Amino acid sequence: MITNVGPDTAPPEGSVVTIGAYDGVHLGHQRLIAEVIRMAGERGCASAVVTFDRHPAMVVRPESAPRLLTDLETKLELLAATGIDRALVLHFDEQRSQETAEDFVETVLVEGLNVRAVVVGHDFHFGHGRGGNVGLLARMGGELGFDVLGVHLYDDGHGGEPVSSTRIRADLAAGRVDLAATLLGRWHAVRGVVTSGDAKGRELGYPTANLAVPAEIVLPADGIYAGWYRRPDGRRHEAAISLGRRPTFYADAEKSLLEAYLLDFSGDLYGEEGMVEFVARLRDEIRFDGPDAVHHLTEQMARDVADTRQVLAAPG
């Protein structure tokens, strides 16, 4: 990862570059990056991604900025897995938001990466006031000696819409984690530190790891899910996941709580950074009332655990 640009960061052999938020590093992103790597190989250049330490909308229009599919650490891990040579992470702040498209090209692409070709989506915009586009890149490329390829966004063949972070967020908001996974090329995952809770799960015989997920990260719709819990050392455990307000106990909880019950596990997880991967939605949250509410809840939790085993044991 490179965080600052200048003549000393520019590969002498030149680079083929793509630019974007790359939130999620989904299949559409992966397809575009594969084209960057292919072109770089043909030209004997380095391949590079220019991205940002936060979504630009968080600075430009914070009131409507989308929640993120990936935190920066996860995004960089996913970018590295594509085989890209370099990831340049630019700090995006008010000053960066005022930078003209022309200045961005000259300082970041030409001086910082010795650009030989740029590959972006055909509708790509950048720079102050979204003043830069493929046409501007092509004009400056003709003057400064780099090629420009504007590619159409990858269509997964279902529904005729391109794969996009916006489309994935919509699937997650509806609880469609299976559809989101087909667009991401993996299960949607979130990281968080395991914190202490009110011990309701332990009292019911199902002790859970409560993950404190950063507020800017996308969570699926409230409900019960089957999935995996990954520990920092890479070990993973089958998990029945509860995401919601726990209506049997609390009538007016202000925010959702993410809890993972690790099947066939005994141990202390407090303080570690865990990752939860959402494989399948099992059901909506249910409020149990009356004197037997807790009994009915524990019976339902036992069914959820059984359903989780069945889902995770299924091929694929």
Domain ranges of the chain: 12-151, 188-313
Which token pair is 160?
A: 């005729």
pLDDT higher at 173 or 208: 173
Category of 185 on φ-ψ map: left (φ > 0), alpha (ψ -120 to 50) or beta: left
**pLDDT class of 312 with cuts at 50, 70, 90:** very high
The residue type at 291: P
Mean pLDDT of all residues in the chain? 90
Cα 137 to Cα 117: distance, rounded to the nearest angstrom: 10
Q: Which CATH number fits domain 12-151: 3.40.50.620, 3.30.1490.20, 3.40.225.10, 3.40.50.150?
A: 3.40.50.620
Band (pLDDT 50/70/90 cuts) for residue 157 is low
pLDDT at residue 196, as a whole number = 80
Assess contact for 148 and 117: CB atoms under 8 A: yes
Q: Report whether CATH 2.40.30.30 matches the domain 188-313.
A: yes
DSSP string, 102-147: HHHIIIIIIIHH-EEEEEEETT--BSGGG-B-HHHHHHHHHHHT-E
Residue among 152, 166, 161 at smallest CA distance from 35: 152
Mean pLDDT over 140-167 rounds to 87
Q: Is the dihedral of CA 85, 51, 40, 100 positive or negative?
A: negative
Quote the percentage of the chain above a pLDDT of 90.
76
The reported pLDDT for the residue numbered 101 is 95
Give residue 5's pLDDT.
60
- The model carries a pTM of 0.90
* pLDDT value at 285 more than 90: no
User: What is the pLDDT averaged over residues 274-280?
Assistant: 97
